[in-house]
Structure 1
Amino acid sequence: MFVAGFVTGTLAGWPLADRLAFAGLTAALSVQEFGGSLSAPGWVEIAAWWQHARAYDDQPARALRRYAFLDRLLPAAARPWPLRRAVPTIGFRQA
């Protein structure tokens, strides 16, 4: 996921710091769920995370500034978090 986030930012022409932050964010969000590629976050999940992160008054201002570039990329309204994921079915055996 890190590479996918980094390449997304590179193709969009973002500054290096924003590409690295976005890549780290997408990688971090992807490991919160089980399922390999099924756990890859989409724009809706990233927007929900950003909305959730800004909702807390005790967030360090530096951290909020680091991800402020998301404001110009993400849809204004995000669905509530957590979101539903697809369930992987290959490789599971019933007991």
Structure 2
Amino acid sequence: MKNVYLTKSEKQIMHAFWQADHPLSCTELLSICELRNWKDRSIFSMLNDLLDKGLLQSVGFVRSGKTYARTFEAVVSQAEYLAGIIKTD
């Protein structure tokens, strides 16, 4: 895995995914990271950035009220990510 820069908020999001034992929806992610005051719009932006960086993937849908919400999971483990940071070429 190539070295990918993560912001502080992106690291917190990835930590939640690495600790989870199942794919998370945005609503679940917000409940896990309840100490953060992220707005819905910013969380969607951060999730899309993590998708673009290849660290997350969309894996399905769950019922959320009257609609469905996408679920996501980490593509790389925390160990793989950390190894990519310290690896020198």
TM-score by length of 2: 0.30
Report the structure, 1 or 2, having the larger strand content. Answer: 2
| Structure ranking higher on relative contact order (CA contacts 8 Å, 6+ apart) | 2
Structure (1 or 2) with the larger CA radius of gyration: 1
